């Protein structure tokens, strides 16, 4: 499965967001995903399996629990692919940052002189 096929699913993206916060048990992931998406525990398990089989997540046993974590390697590949397109948003974002800094500077100067 291609990385964007894996990431194209909103449930799997949300699971990765949860895992990005730190190692998380399958049960804890399931509680959040069931609440947010209304899907069954077996469906959540299937999404975790897809993430694991495609290299986006690791799993380690901890007693009866299974702890999942993000594996960043496929995300680096996605980031590398996105490099081809950064030119479309980087200059406008840099210009915005410049304008915000200019506005803050002008406010600070007005406050100091007024």
Separation CA 106–CA 93 (nearest Å): 20
- Radius of gyration of the chain measured on its C-alpha atoms: 21
Alpha helices in the chain (DSSP H): 3-7, 10-20, 26-37, 41-53, 73-82, 90-113
The per-residue pLDDT for range 29-63, each reduced to its tens digit, is 999 999 999 999 999 999 999 999 999 999 999 99
Is the predicted pLDDT of residue 93 greater than 90, yes or no? Answer: no
Q: What percent of the chain has pLDDT over 90?
A: 71
What average pLDDT is seen over the chain? 92
Q: Report the interhelical angle of 26-37 vs 41-53 (nearest 10°).
A: 120
Decide if pLDDT at 7 tops 80: yes
Tell me the pTM: 0.74
């Amino acid at each position: 499965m291609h990385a964007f096929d894996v990431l194209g699913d909103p449930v799997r993206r949300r699971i990765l967001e949860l895992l990005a916060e730190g190692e998380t048990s399958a049960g804890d992931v399931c509680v959040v995903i069931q609440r947010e998406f209304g899907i069954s525990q077996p469906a959540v398990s299937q999404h975790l399996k897809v993430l694991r089989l495609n290299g986006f997540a690791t799993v380690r046993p901890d007693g009866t629990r299974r702890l999942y974590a993000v594996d960043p390697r496929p995300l680096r590949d996605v980031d590398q692919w996105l490099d081809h397109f950064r030119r479309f948003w980087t200059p406008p974002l840099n210009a915005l940052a410049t304008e915000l800094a200019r506005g803050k500077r002008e406010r600070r100067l007005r406050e100091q002189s007024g």
